[in-house]
Amino acid sequence: MMEKLSYLEQQLKFFILNNSNFLNLAKKYTFTYRDFTPFIDYCKISWNKEEKKWEFVGYYCHNQNKKFPNKQNIFFLNLNIDGYSWGSLFSEIENQFNDYLENNFLDEEIEKNSDKYKELRDPFFKQHKHEILNSWFKLNEVSIKVYFKRTLRNLRIQRFEKVNRLKH
């Protein structure tokens, strides 16, 4: 990210990349099916002025048909991380399942649409989904680039609106 960031914004990026509570919520809610509903999942954070860092407050599920709670020093991070989706997770599990087949069934070729393939795939998915998700879902500068730009834009808009409200 080439853009010059304020200290507050740098700390936000640090929080997103390093806070385990945020990571665990993002792992869970990035893959929660919310299409056709007004609900969006958020991580609530607040700015600690004394320590000059962002702090985890909790989880918040917002109904878009209602107003956001208007609380001082609270900011909401959307938990849907760009680049990760059910489709990408399913593809990753499918790739790892195919590797599993190659390594464990060397003698026989198992066709993709065969009963044996389906019989082996379902238990593999159930057994290894969380393990694969934990090793695959990584937040780093590259994987959060789009997400961070969107989050930064929202933070700047929110700060601008607060300053304007104070002036009027």
- What confidence tens digit (pLDDT) does each residue in 115-155 have? 888 888 999 999 998 899 999 999 999 999 999 999 998 88
Residue 77's pLDDT is what?
94
Dist. CA 84–CA 6, nearest whole Å: 27
Asked if residues 110 and 101 have their Cβ atoms less than 8 Å apart, the reply is: yes
Tokens in use for 71?
């609380």
Q: Could you tell me how many residues make up the chain?
A: 168
Report yes or no on whether pTM surpasses 0.95.
Answer: no
Tokens in use for 136?
């695959």
Dihedral angle sign, alpha carbons of residues 14, 16, 22, 24? negative
Question: What digits encode the pLDDT tens for the residues 49-92?
Answer: 999 999 999 999 998 889 888 777 888 999 999 888 888 888 99
Asked if residues 27 and 20 have their Cβ atoms less than 8 Å apart, the reply is: no
Dist. CA 43–CA 85, nearest whole Å: 18
Tokens in use for 35?
């299409």
Q: Identify the H or E element spanning 95.
A: helix 86-104
Dihedral angle sign, alpha carbons of residues 89, 133, 135, 60? positive
